[in-house]
């Protein structure tokens, strides 16, 4: 299990606290330092079952500068979105947990973290 975090994010800190409380075995990826490439982003999107615009923080100043709100949200623009996330990792929604069963969740709630833990244990 891996969790993509920004240490300054309260949701990330909460998710880490819950993982620790449950004794989960996980690795931390500080994605602003260990920036995911386009292939990493495609892989996590596949695991999430989402599109890049679904995990883009559109209210961030960088997103406003890029004008992402105006970008098409369809297959023709998918590469553009992924390239933007790789170039501007601050735009990636957080935290993201990649579960041991090959899936992933955007773990912004306790319920989502517990879902990832269930996928880990198979309970």
The reply to whether 12 belongs to the active site is no
Please pick, among 7, 9, 22, 49, the residue that the annotation labels catalytic: 9
Task: Judge contact between 50 and 101, C-beta under 8 A.
Answer: no
Task: Judge contact between 27 and 123, C-beta under 8 A.
Answer: no
Classify each residue of 53-66 as buried b or exposed e, where b means 16 or more C-beta atoms within 10 Å of its C-beta: bebbeeeeeebeeb
Active-site residue numbers?
Answer: 9
């Amino acid at each position: 299990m891996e969790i993509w975090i920004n240490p300054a994010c309260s949701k990330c800190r909460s998710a880490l606290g819950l993982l620790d409380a449950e004794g989960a075995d996980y690795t931390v990826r500080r994605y602003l330092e260990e920036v995911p490439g386009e292939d990493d982003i495609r892989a996590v999107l596949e695991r999430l079952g989402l599109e890049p615009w679904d995990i883009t923080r559109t209210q961030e100043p960088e997103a406003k500068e890029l004008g992402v709100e105006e970008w098409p949200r369809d297959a023709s623009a998918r590469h553009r979105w992924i390239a933007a996330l790789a170039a501007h990792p601050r735009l990636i929604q957080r935290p993201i947990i990649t579960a041991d069963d090959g899936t992933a969740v955007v773990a912004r709630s306790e319920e989502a973290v517990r879902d990832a833990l269930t996928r880990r244990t198979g309970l």
